[in-house]
Amino acid sequence: MTEDIQTDTVSKSEQDERTHIEADICVLGAGISGVSTALEAAKSGADVVLADASQSIGGQAVGSIIGTLIGLYSHGDDPYQLTHGIADDLIEDLEPEGSIQRLSAQTSELSTVLFQYDEVELQRWMERKCQQHGVRTLLAAILTDVEFTDRRVDHLDFTTRYGSVRVEADGFVDASGDGSLCWEAGLELREPNEPVYGSLNFLIEGYDTDTVGDFSMDDVHDRLEEVGEEYGLVREDGHLMHFPEKDFMLANITHIETPLDPLGYGNMVFEGRRQADKTVEFLQTEFSEIFDGASVRRYGNPGIRQTRWIKSREQLTLDDLREGYRPDDAVARGSWSVELHDTPEDVHWEHFEDGHVYYIPLSCMIPEGADNIVTVGRCVDADTEALSAIRIMGICIAMGAAAAHSLDLAGSDPVYEIDMDDLQERLDENLERTD
């Protein structure tokens, strides 16, 4: 017979019992941009804390089952890689085992390289890399307060299931996607005047994998336009992507209005799943020879494209992208098209010429009125059209590298006063490399 396990009796005291953590850099948000920031900073020798409200890292790249990594390559007959850093590590580690697969995207308007990935393996890769480089992760942590005085963030306060936590750092990165850190700091943010629609991606199984190769998305789009409303569907375009050598496909074919109120997110989940169910019903009926036995394998979390974003020192505009303007403080580049989800039915696309490259300046990543905050991902400051082009994963990875190195160079000084030549030298591969 084993000995009895001894226990102690505890209760919350009136004293401050929060956990105190000190770091060089604190990153709020563990999506692809936040993970890129954390890894790049840790590899440069910084002590990094990566915090997220979810119970695991990966953000929308994992939880929303985006499934495709776009924006790493330029467009044209001979595309080249635009973003390196952790993107190189990711491809080198996951491509040989088949967890990420390189695909050539060839259409009349677009010629580039993209990747399909296994979201489970991508998440495990992120976790292993964070452990390898000593990134401390604070998960299931809800931001409750930001101490912001004299243009600087001193600390962030979180609540967790194990008590309150305070994180103090020299530099902070808002990778929340919604500008949450900047919002709680009292800084000015922007909101879209018109709805921007998100999607709830999901996986479909039980279809005929032998004949799916003959499947035409043009036919699906035509039928959605003709009869989609009868099934309660709103979107008339989108994608169904069968994973090579898998028995399931990714469906990105829903549109749900993105809320800006706390209760709206729950409705977004329910409406997204309703549209997913109706999409399967539509496929079962209209394309029964392939989808008669199809069903939902897994629902993703709602994929949010745009909510709130910062007001920066200098906003990036669509004209900047069109002109391929390279500012003096360029820190990342891209070539992905304008992809504005501004109507329920379809997407507004604007494609650039083959070989066209545009640049993201550090100034659009720094909130106006702040000295030690850098933002990355979809909460950087760009007009709505420009933001729809640069919020993709490839460019988010590049912005993460820029944030990490700019804060490392800044130390306890204002981040916008760093030597730009030193920063761009560190980011040379993401700005100059064309092989």
pLDDT, tens digit (0-9, with 9 covering 90-100), for 355-405:
999 999 999 999 999 999 999 999 999 999 999 999 999 999 999 999 999
Q: Which residue has the tokens 């931001």?
A: 143
* pLDDT computed for residue 1 by the predictor: 55
Same domain, yes or no: 422 and 369: yes
In a domain, 43, yes or no: yes
Helix axes 119-132, 86-94, angle to 10 degrees: 120
In a domain, 11, yes or no: no
Same domain, yes or no: 202 and 150: no
In a domain, 2, yes or no: no
What is the CATH number for 282?
Answer: 3.30.70
Nearest to 236 by CA among 216, 250, 213, 217: 217
Same domain, yes or no: 210 and 324: no
Instruction: For residue 382, give its domain range.
Output: 20-191+311-335+352-431
Helix axes 86-94, 393-410, angle to 10 degrees: 130
Same domain, yes or no: 274 and 316: no
Same domain, yes or no: 38 and 169: yes
Same domain, yes or no: 231 and 374: no
* pLDDT computed for residue 80 by the predictor: 97
Same domain, yes or no: 130 and 252: no
Same domain, yes or no: 212 and 359: no
Same domain, yes or no: 131 and 147: yes
How many structural domains comprise the chain?
Answer: 2
* pLDDT computed for residue 57 by the predictor: 98
In a domain, 370, yes or no: yes
CB 154 within 8 A of CB 145: no
In a domain, 45, yes or no: yes
Total-model pTM: 0.95
Q: How many CB atoms lie within 10 A of CB 209?
A: 16
Amino acid letter, residue 26: C
Distances (CA, A) of 188 to 76, 182, 183, 376: 39, 8, 7, 16
Report how far residue 155's alpha carbon sits from residue 161's, in angstroms, rounded to the nearest whole number.
20
In a domain, 176, yes or no: yes
In a domain, 343, yes or no: no
* pLDDT computed for residue 46 by the predictor: 98
In a domain, 50, yes or no: yes
Same domain, yes or no: 251 and 371: no
* pLDDT computed for residue 109 by the predictor: 80
Same domain, yes or no: 35 and 131: yes
- What is the share, in percent, of the chain residues with pLDDT greater than 90? 90
List 51's β-bridge partners, or say none. Answer: 28, 138
Same domain, yes or no: 377 and 418: yes
In the chain, which stretches have pLDDT less than 50? none
Distances (CA, A) of 25 to 36, 168, 351, 405, 421: 13, 9, 37, 11, 22
Residues 248-284: tens digit of each pLDDT: 999 999 999 998 888 999 999 999 999 999 999 999 9
What is the CATH number for 94?
Answer: 3.50.50.60
